[in-house]
């Protein structure tokens, strides 16, 4: 069930991708505040995971996309189509989706952008959307969902946090992180009356992220088990991407320590390893509590004692 007072974070899916290496759902995180919720990323399985967690579209206020790798947006269309209209306890009020703009350094014509992605999905499912609007009396989907490209000039290394969204429950701030060659890629911080959560998105070990997460109650940070890929003979290009674009679990621990976070949750787990592999590496750098996330785990903010 959804909490009607207070705040909690639900790790709906924790797997990196696009790959099916474990039973975990793809990366997606819900931030629940006083009976409403906000989603960050739409990995494979997030629609079912959100439903199982008790989240219904009618309580969705806004959504955020960290970057446009497919494992973060693959289920965006399904989530919207499965949570739209009163017939499915879906949203009937406006929902905003904030995410990266097109890559300004790419002029290939495939540069992307969140506004373009959402518009393209509505085009692709235009037949279904039109039929359900006229035949089932659902509200026009295009009029309910608005997509917004986040504008952040400058490069990731010198990035400053920018305000992205606010309502009566949350204030959301983004900062560019380092996930080359993907650009832009963001981390998000949610501040509420109850506390704060910071979500790393996909990033190499990042001081700008540590600054964004200063004093945060909960830091949800990605991690990669490089040993998993090395031991299985993955190719040089694949390993190179993992090394320069993601963070080791001890690196996540260092970022948590630098930021003064109260608690570290490891999610977006790339590679397969026992919980203790992830936890011990992070805990070697961070003195606070460390949890290895699983799909559907709930984290009250601030954490209850015990």
> Which residues lie near Zn ion (CB under 5 A)?
69, 202
Q: Please state the closest distance from residue 182 (CB atom) to Zn ion, in A.
A: 6
Q: Please state the closest distance from residue 259 (CB atom) to Zn ion, in A.
A: 21
Q: Please state the closest distance from residue 41 (CB atom) to Zn ion, in A.
A: 10
Closest CB to Zn ion among residues 69, 279: 69
Closest CB to Zn ion among residues 241, 254: 241
Count of all residues that appear for the chain in the document: 306
Closest CB to Zn ion among residues 181, 274: 181
Q: Please state the closest distance from residue 246 (CB atom) to Zn ion, in A.
A: 8
Q: Please state the closest distance from residue 204 (CB atom) to Zn ion, in A.
A: 11
Task: List the one residue out of 8, 10, 13, 14 whose CA is nearest residue 266.
Answer: 14
Closest CB to Zn ion among residues 11, 192: 11
Place of tokens 């996309």: 65
Distances, alpha carbon 206 to alpha carbons 110, 178, 184, in Å: 27, 7, 14
Closest CB to Zn ion among residues 202, 217: 202
DSSP string spanning 64-102?
E-S---HHHHTTHHHHHHHTBSGGGT-B-S-EEEEEE--
Closest CB to Zn ion among residues 69, 258: 69
Phi then psi for 166, rounded to 5 degrees? Answer: -150, 150
Place of tokens 């924790």: 14
- Residues 151 and 22: their CA atoms lie apart, in Å, by 35
Task: List the one residue out of 295, 233, 212, 251 whose CA is nearest residue 26.
Answer: 295
Q: Please state the closest distance from residue 112 (CB atom) to Zn ion, in A.
A: 13
Query: By the 8 A CB rule, do 163 and 173 touch?
Result: yes
């Amino acid at each position: 069930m959804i909490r009607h007072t207070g705040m909690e974070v639900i790790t709906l899916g924790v797997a990196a991708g696009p790959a099916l290496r474990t039973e975990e759902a793809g990366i997606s995180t819900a931030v629940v505040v006083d009976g409403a919720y906000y989603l960050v990323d739409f990995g494979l399985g997030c629609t079912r995971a959100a439903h199982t967690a008790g989240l219904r579209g009618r309580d969705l206020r806004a959504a955020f996309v960290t970057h446009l790798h497919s494992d973060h947006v693959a289920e965006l269309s399904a989530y919207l189509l499965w949570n739209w209209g009163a017939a499915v306890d879906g949203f009937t009020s406006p929902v905003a989706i904030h995410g990266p703009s097109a890559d300004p350094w790419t002029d290939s014509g495939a540069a992307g952008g969140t506004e373009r992605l959402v518009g393209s999905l509505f085009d692709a499912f235009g037949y279904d959307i039109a039929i359900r609007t006229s035949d089932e009396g659902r509200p026009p989907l295009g009029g309910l969902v608005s997509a917004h490209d986040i504008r952040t000039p400058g490069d990731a290394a010198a990035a400053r946090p920018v305000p992205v969204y606010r309502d009566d429950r949350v204030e959301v701030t983004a900062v560019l992180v380092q996930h080359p060659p993907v650009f832009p890629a963001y981390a998000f911080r949610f501040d509420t009356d109850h506390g704060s959560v910071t979500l790393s998105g996909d990033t190499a070990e990042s001081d700008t992220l540590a600054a964004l997460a200063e004093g945060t109650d909960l830091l949800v940070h990605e991690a990669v088990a490089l040993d998993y890929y090395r031991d299985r003979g993955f190719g040089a290009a694949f390993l190179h991407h993992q090394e320069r674009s993601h963070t080791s679990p001890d690196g996540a621990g260092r970022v948590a320590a630098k930021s003064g976070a109260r608690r570290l949750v490891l999610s977006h787990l790339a590679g397969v390893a026992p919980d203790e592999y992830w936890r011990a590496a992070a805990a070697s750098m961070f003195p606070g509590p460390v949890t290895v996330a699983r799909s559907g785990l709930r984290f009250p903010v601030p954490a209850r004692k015990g």
